[in-house]
Structure 1
Amino acid sequence: MLESGDHVASSIRLWGHTRLFSPWRHLIDPASRRLLEAAAWSGPANEGHAPTGHELVDDYLAPLAALPEIGSRIRFGARVVAVTREGMDRTRTAGREKAPFLLRLQTADGDFVDLTGRAVIDASGTYSTPNPLGSSGLDPIGTADVDGLVLHALPDVLGADRTRFAGKHTVVVGAGHSAANTLIALAELAKAEPGTRVTWLIRNPSAIRVSSSPNDELADRAKLGSRVDRRVHTGQVALVDSFEISRLQATDDGVRLLGRRRGDQAFLDGDVVVNATGFRPDLSMLREVRLELDDIVEAPKRLAPLIDPNLHSCGTVSPHGFTELRHPEPGFFVVGMKSYGRAPTFLLATGYEQVRSITAWLDGDMPAATEVQLTLPATGVCSTDLGSSGGSCCS
């Protein structure tokens, strides 16, 4: 197992202050539980409680990684920069299936090392590759001129990043749950820090991705939408809808966002911007691997119809495993959040079942690999107008 950070779940640590929607009972993989309990691990006292990212790591992932069966297999400070077949690029076919995979790693000290293997499971996630602010899918013109004023999604507003926002006007861009979490934290900060203002900018007429349905089985997710709504209605958060960003400019006090709103030219000034527009997979390291990706969401082609936010209109995802995750490159799989491409619908329980199916296939156990079972909590939300809004009812 190759971890680019210097400790387990380094990416989760970056947003560790944020509380997950799923309670513990949906977050602990059955196989992991068996290993941990055999080592006298005591699980969370309240499995109906939704932990923060830090709690997920400290109480589950770190103890799991410390087990000899797993810890002895983890290599920290190893960032994969390329995947290929040993001795051949993606154009060569003869003997391809028999050639081992070759992974090029960059170590913590900057050196490069090659590693070979018979199969590769890419679970590198998407948090480090956010979508651009521009509605076109491109970085707005002038992005480089405001470096340091556009921040990553889910900053620790009330903790480590407090000074970045206190007494300032923050513009949060995005219509999903990451934006909602940040808006709520900023509204709380504004109560304690004079001069703190919050503007929520979305490109659609409404933010339908933030559920407030009473039928959502993930209670914390259901509450999030109503909590944001209250802050908008009371004026704690100023909502600017139907704004499409095309350009950024540095000002004396911060950054100006320029674009169009309902057909007219428009601009909005802020001291700092939070980019909560979602994430996308980094495919650059897979240039030499033969992939079969959906041309809309960049997920594996067989999986994409199950999760495409333009079509997906129910609170469940059909069970899927190695069959739906296959690529033309035998033995190569993308799993977890990265397997969902640009679709914002992933739950950890889905990733656990993906990996269970794939490892069974790698072990030659076809009955176990093909018997995929997945029970996910319903969202209680369905949209009949997803095509025009670009929304999704799952998270």
Structure 2
Amino acid sequence: MSVRIDITGLRPERVAVVPSPLAELCMALHALSEPGHHPGLQGWVTGVAARLDPHLADRMCEADFLWRTTFSDLFLPFAGIPGRSTLPGATLAEDLDLLDKLSDEQFVDAALEFTCAVPYGVQGATVLSDPVVRRRTLDLAAARGPRQLRFSERLMADPPLIRSWLRQFFQDCDEAFFADAWSRLRHQLAADARHKTDLLRRRGLAEALTAVSPAVRVDETAGVIVIDKLGDGRTATADGGLLLLPTSFGWPHLSVLHRHGWQPVLHYPVGGAEPVSPPSVEQLTLRMSALSHPVRMRICRHLARSAYTTSELAQAHGMTAPEISRHLGALKKAGLITTRRRGRYVLHQLDVTVVARLGSDFLEGLLR
């Protein structure tokens, strides 16, 4: 499982690393709505929530589906501008001006991307142009509750009204808490952008992307960027460019915009606690699968306490040595056990550190 970006013909000068105030506001709103995803931001979340105007807090709930469980492409409007070469604004006001340049169809589809029947990565009918898609969108919105249904109905009935409402909401958030946060974070994000840009120029795209996240790699033979995620998607830079956006609020989320016809964007966290080499989705799958077998769970119980040989485990479990070897092979392939030789004996032992991290690794893989 992965998101793949075809970079065939991509020119180095069309790759840009630049922060976006609007994209960072998205992550700030997400952290306020889902503090459990961001334990490192608990102090900031508590402080903002304590002084937040109740009316603004109510408005924040009205459209929180745009940033709570997913990250709407409305926060990356520069990617939807024709030509696919527009950069984010230097200020929130400039980013909001770019949001105003999206067509009503783009605006509505991006706002409803996860409740709309239109496939995300391919061209299709829009909510505003197709009555069938419109009805299905309302049905799906209703399943998510009356608040989202009301918002979706208003959005489809009068897009300019909601566009104005959303712009004012973002401006009020800026005044209430975001301007202060951005004044502190923009220097860190700008420094990271300069560092990644320098890597691009001196070492090339592959090394710059490795520095972005160990979950991102370049398959130079196939001419694609592969982002290891629990999900599938495809897009291409085609005749456009590629944007890399650093975020301070975003860890552990690694977001990829791969909407059809939009410029690909990789929104990556900086300054987080991401391990040097987080396990891939394939490794997580192997580990979960290996531990799901009852015999291997019993073997792990032994190996967690001490090191054992294959014959010792066979005797303890009433199985043959070849049967135990097959189970040990699955555990070793998943990276859950270590082996060492003592004379003519090979001893196996559970890697307790890896197993202890499995819960948090799995959660980070889901949130990535």
Q: TM class, shorter-chain normalised?
A: under 0.3
Tell me which protein shows more strand as a share of its residues: 1
Tell me which protein shows more helix as a share of its residues: 2
User: Relative contact order, CA 8 A, sep 6+: which one is greater?
Assistant: 2
Q: Which has the larger radius of gyration?
A: 2
Instruction: Give the structure-2-normalised TM-score.
Output: 0.28
